[in-house]
Amino acid sequence: MSRFVAWTVSVRGRITVAVTVSFALVMVFGTWFLLNRAEAAWIDDLEAQDLAELEMIAQDIMAMEALDAMLAPELILPVGEGGTSYFLVDEAGVVVGETPPGVFGGAVIIDGPFAVDGGPVPPVFGEITGEIELRDDITTVTLPVELASGTLTLTAASPLEPVRAGVSALRGILLVLVPVLVGGIGITAWFVTGRAFRPVESISAQVDRITDDRLEERVPVPASRDEVADLAVTMNKMLDRLSASRQRQREFVSDASHELRNPIAAIKAKLEVALAHPESIDWNETATAVLEEQQRLEFLVDELLQLARLDEQAAAGREEVDLDDIVFAEAKRVAGTEMDLDGVNPTRVTGNPRQLTFAVRNLLDNAVRHAEAKVAVALVVEGEQAVLSVDDDGTGIPKGQRRTVFERFTRLDEARDRGRGGAGLGLALVAAVAAAHGGDVSVVDSPLGGARFVLSLPVESYAPNVRSDS
């Protein structure tokens, strides 16, 4: 029972059932239509044949009148092919001639002076009403015959037994043929769908074998250029992304461990030296050095935490933020470098205030770290984007490294000195904040001679680009 349920709920089983049932319904309707059309066509052929015979008999009757032969009441008409009988009725409805009823087997009932073998013709069924009555299994065709004495009606009555026998034989053939065809279609649909889904089974089996430590494996791509091949290609692309993400995660963990180990090792070494030679150690200097390393460690942990939060969810806690206020507040923290804020204009965006603060802070810290003497900041609204640009007069960034600087734990050669460079997370955090807010960050050459970092964020409410003297 469970195997039957599994078969019916599978895609292959459902397609097979749907195709078989649809074909069976079409065949049933087609069989009914064919039988009805066949019977109607055979009756039409029979009536056309009877009409042709009536025309020949009518010519004979008119020839008899032309020869002055009297149409006697005992006029006997011939028996047609297939047992067709004919009868002739005058204007008063009296049968004046017919095929002998005994020959036809009682196809008609007549009431008239016509007699066979000198005696009256007995009725076959029903009452004699003076009119002709036909059985249900007979088809008739009439033809008027214009004579000098009046208009007579010539009628052909043909039995429908041959037609119905043919229809019955055809029905018997179809009753055998239709189930065979339906069964054949069902079997064909089963094997065709099985062949079509065989690559899917291979893909499913391969995906089931791929584990966290086997992300380098890929699913087979069938040679057919169909949806299954597209599915395999899409899954391989997904596996590429997963593999790359896994590799980045491993590198991130490795780099984070290395960066965290450095300040911890420095603190440990200073304290061990101090404890080993307490009489010759300047404890204020040691405490200051340990505090610096602790602050470096705290800053690094804070950046890692922010990156982890951005990886988990995009810019949670959105609200309207005055981005220019954040710029002015963060600029006050910077000391020892000339900071030009004349290009900062009132600009409001919708986003997470804490994340935007981290982004602005890291851009300013990065500029101050690499500037020779001056940093210039501008904030304007261009179309539907708030554009924050931070320029420095340092040595700039080579074009080949302008994308890699936004990767995590990336430090250029100049910044490798821990006295100047950070952990390589600041610009990665800026890029993550920009992406979480639907924006972007890039770096180009600065008019001051160094690098210009440009942070673009979408705005939902606009402020005029009025220069601020704050």
* pLDDT score recorded for residue 200: 77
Q: Whole-prediction pTM value?
A: 0.47
What is residue 467's DSSP assignment? Answer: P
Whether 144 maps to a domain, the answer reads: yes
Give the Cα separation of 237 and 307 in Å (integer).
25
Give the Cα separation of 15 and 20 in Å (integer).
8
Whether 218 maps to a domain, the answer reads: no
* pLDDT score recorded for residue 422: 55
How many domains is the chain partitioned into structurally?
A: 3
Residue 133, SS3 per DSSP: strand
Can you state the angle between helices 426-436 and 353-370, rounded to 10 degrees? Answer: 140
* pLDDT score recorded for residue 75: 67
- Domain shared by 305 and 421, yes or no: no
Of 389, 386, 390, which is closest to residue 347 (Cα–Cα)?
Answer: 386
* pLDDT score recorded for residue 69: 52
Residues 6+ apart with CB under 8 A from 401: 412
Is the CB of residue 337 less than 8 Å from the CB of residue 459? no
The tokens describing 284, both together, are 């204020």
Range(s) of the domain holding residue 396: 319-458
* pLDDT score recorded for residue 169: 92
Of 365, 355, 375, 366, which is closest to residue 429 (Cα–Cα)?
Answer: 355
Sign of the CA dihedral running 68, 73, 79, 83: positive
- Domain shared by 38 and 165, yes or no: yes
- Domain shared by 137 and 256, yes or no: no
The tokens describing 158, both together, are 């043909």
* pLDDT score recorded for residue 194: 82
Whether 244 maps to a domain, the answer reads: yes
Q: pLDDT under 50 in the chain at which residues? A: 1, 70-71, 102-134, 413-421, 461-470
Give helix then strand counts, H and E, for the chain: 9, 16
- Domain shared by 13 and 143, yes or no: yes
Residue at which a domain ends, from 259, 277, 312: 312
Residue at which a domain ends, from 312, 346, 374: 312
Q: What is the pLDDT of residues 331-351, one digit of tens each?
A: 888 776 788 899 999 999 988
- Domain shared by 158 and 83, yes or no: yes
- Domain shared by 300 and 382, yes or no: no
* pLDDT score recorded for residue 120: 36
- Domain shared by 362 and 449, yes or no: yes
